Every structure is written in structure tokens, then in C-alpha cells.
Structure 1
Amino acid sequence: MRIMCKDVMAETLYDVLHDTSYRKKWDTNMIDTYDIGRLTVNADVGYYSWKCPTPLKDRDFVTMRSWLPLGNDYMIINYSVKHPQHPPKKDYVRAVSLLTGYLIQSNSSTSSTLYYLTQVDPRGSLPKWVVNRVSQFVAPKAMRKIYKASLKYPEWKRKHNPTLKPWMYPEQNTLPSVSLADLTLQRADSLENIDESGVREEKAQHSDDEET
């Protein structure tokens, strides 16, 4: 997907995608997110849980993320890993990010373009209509949320630790170190397959309407 972000600098988009404190303000689908530890100056491991429409079970991820400034452009990518201290939780389906990435391109000093590519296995035997709905509605809506959040971020950041940006300044990073030897690649075929194929579209549609 791609979205043009008028009146948003590329650096601002980059900050918004990194700033977990701010994400709690605008990501209404998020249940929880936190950083687990750092691997290098531009790579870490983190946790994210996502609220799914009733009666589907909520999903969560443990991912290794890396990022790289490219002049005036920026790139962030992640994929799922296993961490021994963060196993799958009872009330969640552990989804798998095979590869997810953002590319932020600067168009000018006041505008940018955000590209989003993701290959995710949500796990569970989901009905085809669920996958179609996510593809057609949920992801594009999330892109618009990121854009709107980016418009408000500079004002919010001025009031909340304006100089704290560990993704830009590694010396600010206080996360514990994570050894690469403690991580293993999380593939879709290594998790229990939870059957949600009996979920009816009417129930999920009703849940979506209530949330709206």
C-alpha cells in the first residue's frame, strides 16, 4: 500500500512509527506494545498485541525489527522470532510476520510518501471473508490513522520528552541487550493451528459496527 502524506515530513513519519509511547495514543486496535531488548544500534526485539473483532481471538507478535535512515528517506522492517522469555500466551493467537516493512520517501521539506508491505500469517483457519475484509478495509484504515497521527505528532512530542529519540540517538537506548543466540526464526508452520473457520460474518460485522 501507499499513502501520500501532505504536510508531514519523512522524519516525522519515521518518529511516529518508532515511538511506542505515542502509538498508545492513536492505535485503537493495539492492546499492548513494548520493547523487549536491543540487538544492535539499529535493531531490537519487541512485542505487539492486536485486538480482533469479536468473536475472533486476539493476535500477538514477537518480532525482530531493524531500521535504517537512507539520506532523506527511511526504512523499517520486521519479522517474527521466538524469544524464550516471551512464549505464546493463553488468550492470544501468536501470529507470524513473515516480512513486514515501511519505506518512507521524502517528497519535499513538507511532504512524504509512506509505503507499506506486509506478509503476515494470522494463524487459525480463518474464513476467506475475514482475510478479504482485512485486506480491503483494516490495513488501508490503519494507513490513514498513521497519517493523521503524524500531523499531530510534533505538537505532542514537544510536551513529551522532546529530545528522547533512541531510534535516532543510540546512546539514549536503555534496553537490556538481547543475544541473537537466544532468538529463533518464527515460521508459520511451527505454531498450533487454531480453527476459527466457523466464525460467522454477521457476528463480526456487528462487532465492527459497535467499535465504529
Structure 2
Amino acid sequence: MKKKLCLFTILFFGFSTAFAQNSWELKRNENGIEVYTRNASTGNLKELRVLCKLDATRDELISTLQDIANYSQWVFSNKKSVILKTLSPQKIIYYTQSHLPWPIKDRDLIVELDINSTPDVLNIEAKSLPDYLPQDSNYIRVPYSLATWHVTQTPDNKLKVDYTFSVDPGGSIPAWLVNATLAVGPYNSFVKLRELLRVKYKRNNLAN
């Protein structure tokens, strides 16, 4: 009986510890934008999650995400983004460059953007394709990046966004520095995205 109790205790608390390590921790809650981080299942880098609402329609969000050339209007640290290939109306491969503060070298990234819309939910995935193009010596190629969007409509006609993001920026940036600044970029990006969509939403409503 004691052995069974001991085994149960080990299993229970071991599971509880693992669950706690992988649970989301709120890091920032401002302007209706909640930013969470958690330890990844492997490695030392954290994963990120953003929860917020957007004044926009699905079509307005989709068109903004597919407007690759204008990412610098809202994507944090974006220098340049260009479409490399349109695989379908829902799937695009694009190239993007990010400016980072000195002495960290700028990064570049190739992304496959895949949009899947159903009547109930809009699912979006943006995953890195690091070997799609030869590397540019002026940039460090991001070896891994994955962003997912789970978007639903709220009763008050807003878009409820559940966004997750994980990245390995490559190069020699210490993990502690990546983790310490992980929430900055996505928070600022969503602030600008929300304002951009709000302007579009008002303009489209006035036009109707």
C-alpha cells in the first residue's frame, strides 16, 4: 500500500510540475492586449501567446495579412517584405527582413503563410522555410519560426484572436535576452495592427 501511495505521489506531483512548467504566464496586459509566455517543451527559448479583439471583418484581416509589401506599417522591426510565390489564393511564400538593435545582426526569414477559413473559425499558420533561398551574408537566416492564429467572431462583431508564436532567431543571441524581449515585438505589432484594421473597418462601413 505504501509503495502504491508513493508511486501515485511521484506520478501526481511529477505531472503537476510538468503542467506548471508548460502553463502560460501573463507578462503584459495593456490596451486590451494580453501577452503570455511559457517554457517550450524543448530548448531554452520561450513560446509566446497573445489574446486580443480586433475591430475588423475576416476579409479585412486576411487582406491585411496578405498585403506583404506593407508589413512595415505594423510588423515590429520590419525592414522589407516581398512575395516570392503565390501557391494559391490562401497560401503565399514571402521573404522578410528584420532590423535589430546594434550590435545584434539583422535577420531574414522565408515564411509560408497558409490561411484556412471555415464558417466558424479562421485558422492561419505562418511557418519558416529556412532553406527556400540561399543565405544572404548581410543577414542571419532565422532557422525556425512558427506563428498560428485562431480567430473567431464575437457576439459584438469583433474578431477574437488567439495567437501563438515560437522562434529560434539563430546566431549567437543569448536565450535569456531572447526571452526577456520576446513580448515586445508582438505586443507592438498587435497595437499597430488593431489601429490599422480599425481605420479600414470605419472606412468600409462609411462606404456602405
TM class, shorter-length: 0.5 to 0.7
Counterpart for residue 200 of structure 1: none
- 2:160 paired residue number: 113
Which residue of the partner structure matches residue 144 of structure 1? Answer: 191
Name the CA shift for 1:101/1:28 in 2 (closer, same or farther; >3 Å). Answer: closer
Counterpart amino acid of residue 115 in structure 1: D
Deviations 1:139-197, CA, capped at 9 Å, x for gaps: 22222222122112346789xxxxxxxxxxxxxxxxxxxxxxxxxxxxxxxxxxxxxxx
TM-score by length of 1: 0.64
1:10-59 Cα offsets, whole Å, 9 max, x none, are 33223222222442333351111011112234222110111112211111
Q: Which runs of 5+ in 1 are unaligned?
A: 159-212
Amino acid at match of 2:117: P
Please say if 1:36 is aligned against 2:84: yes
Counterpart mapping for 1:16-55 below 5 A: 16-27=64-75, 29-55=77-103
Q: Would you say how many aligned residue pairs link Structure 1 and Structure 2?
A: 157
State percent identity of aligned pairs. Answer: 19
Q: What TM-score comes out, normalization by structure 2 length?
A: 0.65
1:68 is aligned to 116
Is the radius of gyration larger for structure 1 or structure 2? Answer: 2
Correspondence list, 1:89-108, <5 A: 89-108=136-155
CA-atom RMSD in angstroms: 2.6
Give the aligned residue type for 2:178.
Answer: V
* Distance in 1 between residues matched to 2:157 and 2:70, nearest whole Å: 21
Distance 1:57-1:156 versus aligned 2 partners, 3 A rule: farther
Residue 78 in 1 paired to residue 126 in 2? yes
Do structure 1's residue 12 and structure 2's residue 60 form an aligned pair?
A: yes
Which amino acid is 1:4 matched to?
C
In structure 2, runs of 5+ residues without a counterpart are 1-48
